[in-house]
């Protein structure tokens, strides 16, 4: 009996090692693909940013020269400024709209399932198709669907995508229409965890829907809101095809994003090393935002 007792920890340890080995074998293909498609290109991009290139071939080590050349790019500062504007505008529009949608559907007494499906439906549409739809919708003059509708009520044509002051706002509206539904469902799942007795007690006390929204709903979804805030910043910071397809970065670079500038440097101006340098800058910013995201979620879990 004593000999069996001495061998049981060893058998348990061997079994654990075997399970770990099986897990690593199962994960190995995914890890190899992840390294090949993510880490290898990332390291090659960092390396390329310190070299002069001919095509995609590294020629000479130039140190920080590519980063210095970015500073004299006409659209460099504009692109960074526009990206910040996209982020701020998306937080004002894209963060509030899903919360309002989630609250309204939660308060709905009938057809709640229909409203949930209708809210999520834009997410089913491919992103490129959604951008094309809004490009026609906000078209200038008689070619724009919205301007045609405004003409029916006697309102003159509005330059939605050619006005430098408002073009970013309308692009953010298109982005919000596409993504607000899925975000609203996340908030609805948080709201569903609220005890109905709280709403019933507030209703008995005479609280109106707006009062119930600010006193019960908002405090409950605040933790979820922190996470969605950081995720939205990370997503909007990488905006590319919306301004590229809707305005081509115009008018006068008023809507060009930092990722669109990377694309233009790499595939239009064929300045691969400068595009690599700008990509590294974006990567550093995203890493910083990701660290903030993990810090926020960690503090939320402790609370």
Read off the pLDDT of residues 144-165 as tens digits, 9 standing for 90 and up. 888 888 888 888 788 888 888 8
- pLDDT surpasses 80 at 183: yes
**Could you tell me which residue, 123 or 14, shows the higher pLDDT?**
123
pTM comes to 0.81
Q: The tokens 């309204």 sit on which residue?
A: 104
Supply the pLDDT for residue 14. 67
**Residue from 134, 211, 206 nearest 175 by CA:** 134
- pLDDT surpasses 90 at 258: yes
> Phi-psi region for residue 111, left (φ > 0), alpha (ψ -120 to 50) or beta?
left
Which range has the worst mean pLDDT, 161-170, 202-211, 269-278, 294-303? 294-303
Per residue in 76-101, pLDDT (tens digit) is 999 999 999 999 998 888 778 888 88
Which range has the worst mean pLDDT, 40-44, 153-157, 253-257? 153-157
Integer Cα distance of 138 and 163 in angstroms: 12
């Amino acid at each position: 009996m004593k000999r069996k007792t001495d061998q049981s920890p060893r058998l348990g340890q061997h079994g654990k090692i075997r399970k770990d080995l099986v897990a690593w074998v199962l994960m190995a293909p995914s890890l190899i693909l992840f390294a090949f498609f993510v880490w290898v290109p990332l390291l090659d991009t960092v390396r390329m940013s310190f070299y002069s290139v001919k095509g995609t071939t590294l020629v000479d080590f130039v140190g920080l020269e590519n980063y210095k050349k970015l500073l004299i790019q006409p659209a460099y500062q504009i692109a960074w400024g526009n990206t910040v504007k996209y982020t701020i505008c998306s937080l004002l529009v894209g963060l509030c709209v899903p919360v309002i949608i989630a609250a309204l559907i939660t308060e709905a007494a009938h057809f709640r399932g229909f409203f949930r499906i209708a809210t999520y439906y834009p997410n089913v549409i491919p992103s490129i198709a959604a951008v094309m739809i809004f490009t026609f919708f906000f078209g200038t003059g008689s070619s724009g669907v919205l301007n045609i509708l405004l003409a029916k009520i006697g309102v003159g044509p509005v330059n939605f995508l050619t006005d430098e002051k408002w073009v970013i706002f309308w692009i953010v509206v298109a982005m919000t229409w596409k993504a607000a539904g899925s975000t609203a469902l996340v908030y609805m799942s948080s709201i569903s965890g609220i005890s109905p007795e709280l709403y019933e007690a507030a209703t008995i006390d005479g609280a109106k829907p707006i009062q119930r929204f600010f006193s019960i709903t908002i405090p409950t979804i605040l933790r979820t809101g922190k996470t969605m805030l950081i995720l939205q910043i990370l997503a909007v910071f990488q905006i590319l095809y919306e301004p590229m397809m809707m305005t081509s970065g115009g008018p006068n670079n008023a809507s060009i994003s930092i990722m669109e500038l990377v694309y233009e440097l790499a595939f239009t101006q064929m300045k691969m090393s400068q595009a690599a340098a700008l990509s590294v800058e974006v990567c550093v910013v995203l890493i910083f935002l990701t660290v903030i995201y993990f810090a926020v979620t960690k503090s939320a879990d402790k609370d």
